[in-house]
Each structure stands twice: as C-alpha cells, then as structure tokens.
Amino acid sequence: MRQLTFSIFRFNPNIPGDKPRMQEYKLEEQDGMSMFVALTKIREELDPTLMFDFVCRAAICGSCAMLINGRPRLACKTLAKNMPSRITMMPLPVFKLIGDLCVDTGTWFKDLQIKTEAWVHTNKKFDPKALEEKMDNEVAEKIYEPDRCVECGCCVAACITANIRDDFIGATGINRVARFMLDPRDERSDADYFDVVGNEEGTFGCVGLMGCDDLCPMEIPLQENLAYVRRKMAAAGLKLQFQGVKVS
Amino acid sequence: MELAKNLQTTINKSHGKTDLYVDLAQSISGILLVGFLWMHMLFVSTVVINPALFDTLSIGLDKYYLAQFGIPGTVLLIIVHIFLAGRRAPLRLRDLRIAWRLTRMMNHYDTWVWAGQVITALMIGIMASMHLWTIMTSWPLRAATSAARVASVGPADHSFGGFEFPFFIVFYVIFLIVGEYHAGFGLYRIFVKWGWFERHKMGWLLKGITVIIIALGFTALYTFTQIAANLPAGGAIH
Ligand code: SF4
Ligand code: SF4
Ligand code: FES
C-alpha cells in the first residue's frame, strides 16, 4: 500500500495570533480508505487538534464538503484509491471559516431559504386528520431530482460568480427554486417567482461556467435545472411586459 | 450572503425587468456577433475559390451600402457587447485574484475555457480596432489590396534602423484563432445557459465548426500571400 501525504490547511480564527498555514501528515493507505477515514486516523493518531466536519459518512448529510486537491468534494465519498499519493485539503471558499476544514454552511443556507422562500406557498388549510392527497408518480419523480440536493455547498464553492458576488444565490439556490416551480402544490405565480430569482442575484447572474454541473457530488442535473428556471423567468418577464399587468 | 441583508442592497434592489433585458441583450449581441464573424470568414474565404469572386462580393457589398452600414453597425454592436458581457468579468483586483486562484486550483475545464474567453476578449478589443483601422485606410477592399496588406512587412524604414518583420501575417494568424475561440465558446456558453441543446454534444459540434472556420481562414491567408507574390512590385499598399 502507498504512503499518502496529506497537506492540510490549518487556521483557527478564534485563536488570537494564529496564522493560516499548510501542515503535512503522512499515513499508510488502507483498503477502501475514504478521506473521512484518513482524517479520522490523522486526528486519532497524529493530531487531536485538527478540525473537520462529518455526520453521516455516506454522502447524505452534506457536511463534509471541502476542497480536495483543489476541487470541492464530499470527503466521505472521495476514495484514496482515486487520488494521487499527495493530497491537499482546504476548507470551502465563500462560507465562513470556523477552523481548519470546518466552514459554516448552515447560516448561508438558512439565508438562502429565506431569500428564495423555499417552502410550499399555499392557501389551502391543512387538515391533519384528512387523508394525504396523492401525487402523480411522474410529478413526484420530477420534484425529487432537484430535491436530492444535500446542501453541501460544493456548487457554490465551485462557482466563480458566487465567489466574487456575495449576493449570488448559486446553483443550489436556483435549483431550489426549480424544485418549487415543479411542485403543483406551490401556488406561487411566475410573477412571484420572478420577484425571487428574476434578477442578477438569481438566475440572470449565472455566467454558465458549469463548475456546479460538473462538480455536484449528487450529480444533480444542474445545467438543465438552471436553464429551466432561466427560460421560465425570461418567458414570464417578457409576457409581463406585453400585458402590462402581472400574469401567472 | 451577509451583504444581501444590508440597507445598501435593500434600497438599491433591482426592480422590474432590467436584469432580464440586460441578460437577453447580452445573449442576443453575442449571437449576432458570432453570426457576423462566421459570415465574414465565409466571405473572406471566397478568395480561395477565385479572387474575382471575392472582388465581386466586395463590390456588391459596397454597391448596396451593406458595408457602409454593416461596419458601423458591427462596431456599435461590439461596443454594446463589451459593456454587456464585460460586467460579468472579474474587474476588481480582488475579484481577479479570486477568479485566477480558483481557476488554477480547481483545474476545471469549462472554467479554464472561460478564463480564456476573458483574455481573448481583451485581445479582440485591441486587435479588432487595428484591423478596422488598416482596412479603412486602404479602402476599397479588394483581393489585391487585402493580399498586399497580409503580405506587407515592416516597419522597414531603414533610415531609422527599421527591421523587416512579416507583421500582418502573424497578426492575422493570432487574430483568427483568438476571434474564433471567443466566438465558438461564447456561443457554447449561451446555449449552455439557455439549455437548448445537450451540453457535451453541442460543445463538440461548436468545436468542430470553429476548427473548420480557422482552417478556412488559414487557407484564405495562404491564398493572399500567393496573390501578393504575383503583384507587380510597388503595387503594394502599406
Ligand atoms: S446542488 Fe449539489 S453541489 Fe450544490 S449544494 Fe446541492 S448537492 Fe451540493
Ligand atoms: S453555471 Fe457557473 S455561474 Fe452558473 S451557478 Fe453554475 S458555476 Fe455558477
Ligand atoms: S459526512 Fe455526510 S455527506 Fe459526508
């Protein structure tokens, strides 16, 4: 088995005087070793002060995203056998650094939920005793596609636009809106959606760099979903103009 | 997204449909310019078939005032496109630094291509102005004048220690590649954003077209140098 060298970003902004630096650790490669296993081993055997995030270890929670050899990836889904023997690890850009490889994606995503109003808008009264309404299987599957997003933030980190524009909602944000547009239970009109994403902070801010589409660890078809929202918003915007009033 | 919540962005929030129009105008100006460039190269390539055909076409464009309106129109379109597409480029030093570092670090194909587009855009800005200046100062445009221009060497005023350098042929080879690169990938990006075609297949198709047009351009340049070699001495312009 190979000897692996990990070069890991170290910096704790909460320690006064601490400076960002890269620190090296050496480990023996193991069968089926993921970056999660490697980091845990480093923390247990070499350096208990190393900070990084994990919850599910199975690409479900999205908390372990980091830059591995420069690319945003989920550490638990990245296997050592697919990597060269020298591996660099850095925290995701854009998000607030907590320390070493930990970033706060939670606050960013909470803001995103509020900004895109990411909940089903309906005037129907909820009756807890009534039988749940059935949804067409095809529709359900369509909604499920964008809904697979685990909020890891990889697409945000991979996007130059999101890196240089603080207010850009990123592919995950536009994808989120697509999810509600597809949902027949959401009663929002196109004009309502236009207010949310029909601007440069949303769909018209995207430059089409496709870092998001290529690097999303869940392989969500982001290009398609982004283009869907863009087309829909353009159509809505142009139609609005013709009639001079809000139309759905 | 912290900044999104402060007063500055609250009172200056974009209202209405400005962002949509600007984005649409960017895509449309891009498509029109690609159309112009590809057509331009097809017209120029007629010289490969026959210089007389090139002249007939050129005379026709002048006669029906297509050149007289087309050229200023295109210049205007380019200026509009610079403003529309330029707003997407990282302009602040801070943004440039972030964009450059991330591009190198991620080593992601499409992001590299985009970095190339920003660089070629700058080159086109300079080279298109030079190209325009030289064709306007040797108007009208005919196979012979173009050939003389392409083949001219300079600066060669030996009284000032000038040297001979085939400036224009080098200029046009670079200009051709840079221009077609920017156009081909620009169109790719527009299609990607609007999602009209499958991304990878369409990418290959556009690369194919770009290579063909560059090859056409090379053949045309070669033809011009051959024509120039047969021009009477002193008949050269520039
Ligand atoms: S869209 Fe993909 S890359 Fe982006 S946050 Fe969701 S799962 Fe992560
Ligand atoms: S396509 Fe590019 S600009 Fe648009 S969200 Fe994805 S990475 Fe960002
Ligand atoms: S630990 Fe949950 S996605 Fe990696």
A229-241 confidence digits (pLDDT tens): 999 999 988 875 4
Distance set, CA B107 to CA A89, B99, B101, B103, B201 (Å): 15, 12, 10, 6, 21
Q: A237 and A124: one domain?
A: yes
Q: Which residues of B45-63 are buried (b: 16+ CB within 10 A; e: fewer)?
A: bbbbeebeebbebbeebee
Domain endpoint, select from A55, A78, A103? A103
Tell me what pLDDT residue A198 has: 92
Question: Do residues A140 and A238 both lie within one domain?
Answer: yes
Residue A89: inside a domain: yes
Same domain? A237 vs A179: yes
- For residue A182, the enclosing domain spans 116-242
Single out the residue of A181, A175, A187, A189 nearest to residue A240, CA to CA.
A189
- For chain A, the straight-line distance linking the first and the last C-alpha, in angstroms and rounded, comes to 61
Interface-testing mutation among B1, B23, B103, with chain A (most A C-beta atoms within 10 A):
B1
Q: Which one of the ligands is nearest to A217 CA?
A: 1
Residue B235 has what pLDDT?
Answer: 46
Tell me the CATH number at A18: 3.10.20.30
A237 and A127 co-located in one domain: yes
The closest alpha carbon to B113, from A208, A180, A109, belongs to: A208
Calculate how far, in angstroms, residue A153's C-alpha sits from the geometric centre of ligand 1. Answer: 6
Specify if A209 maps to a domain: yes
Average pLDDT, chain B: 85
Question: Do A205 and A172 meet the contact criterion of CB atoms below 8 Å apart?
Answer: no
> Per the CB < 8 Å rule, is B199 touching A213?
yes
Chain A neighbors of B190, CB-CB under 8 A: 208
CATH number at residue A126: 1.10.1060.10
Q: Around A75, how many Cα atoms within 13 Å sit in the side-chain half-sphere?
A: 27
Percentage, residues of chain A above pLDDT 70: 96
Residues whose beta carbon lies within 6 Å of some atom of ligand 3? A 54-57, 59-64, 74, 76
Stretch A196-200: mean pLDDT, rounded?
91
Verify that A95 and A164 share a domain, yes or no: no
Nearest to A240 among B2, B17, B109 (CB): B17
pLDDT at B124 over 90: yes
Do both A130 and A236 map to the same domain? yes
- A222 with A135, same domain: the answer is yes
Q: Is the CB of A161 under 6 A from ligand 2?
A: yes
Residue A244 has a pLDDT of 47
Residues of chain B found within 8 Å of residue A71, distances taken between Cβ atoms: 105-108
More confident residue, B3 or B86: B86
**DSSP labels, chain B:** -GGGGSHHHHHT---TTHHHHHHHHHHHHHHHHHHHHHHHHHHHHHHHH-HHHHHHHHHHHHHTTHHHHHHHHHHHHHHHHHHHHHTTS--SHHHHHHHHHHHHHH--HHHHHHHHHHHHHHHHHHHHHHHHHHHHHT-S--HHHHHHHHH------GGGT-----HHHHHHHHHHHHHHHHHHHHHHHHHHHHT-S-HHHHHHHHHHHHHHHHHHHHHHHHHHHHHHHTSPTT----
Answer yes or no: do B193 and A208 touch at CB < 8 A.
yes
What does the pLDDT read at residue B154? 64
Note whether A142 and A238 are same-domain residues. yes
Name the domain count of chain A. Answer: 2
pLDDT for res A109: 95
CA B3/CA B5 separation, integer angstroms? 5
pLDDT surpasses 60 at A248:
no
pLDDT at B162: 63
Average pLDDT rounded to a whole number, residues B129-142: 84
| A91 lies in the same domain as A162 | no
Q: What ipTM is given for this predicted complex? A: 0.86
A93 and A54 share a domain? yes
By Cβ distance, the residue of B107, B114, B199 closest to A70 is B107
Domain boundary among A73, A103, A133: A103
Whether A46 and A125 map to the same domain: the answer is no
Residue A4 has pLDDT above 80, yes or no: yes
**Ligand showing the shortest atom-to-Cα distance for residue B189:** 2
Encode pLDDT of A26-37 as tens digits. 999 999 999 999
Among A55, A89, A218, A219, say which to mutate for ligand 3: greatest number of ligand atoms within 8 Å of CB: A55
Domain boundaries, chain B: 2-229
pTM of the predicted model as reported, rounded to 2 decimal places: 0.88
State whether A173 and A214 are in the same domain. Answer: yes
Determine the pLDDT at residue A152: 96
Give the domain-ending residue among A35, A70, A103: A103
* Mean pLDDT value across residues A94-102: 95
Q: Are A241 and B137 in contact (CB under 8 A)?
A: no
CATH number for domain B2-229, candidates 3.30.2140.20, 1.25.40.10, 3.90.550.10, 1.20.1300.10: 1.20.1300.10
- Residue B61 is predicted with a pLDDT of 83
Mean pLDDT of A96-117: 94
Q: How many residues does chain A have?
A: 248
pLDDT value at position B1?
A: 53
CA A80, A86, A92, A98 torsion-angle sign: positive
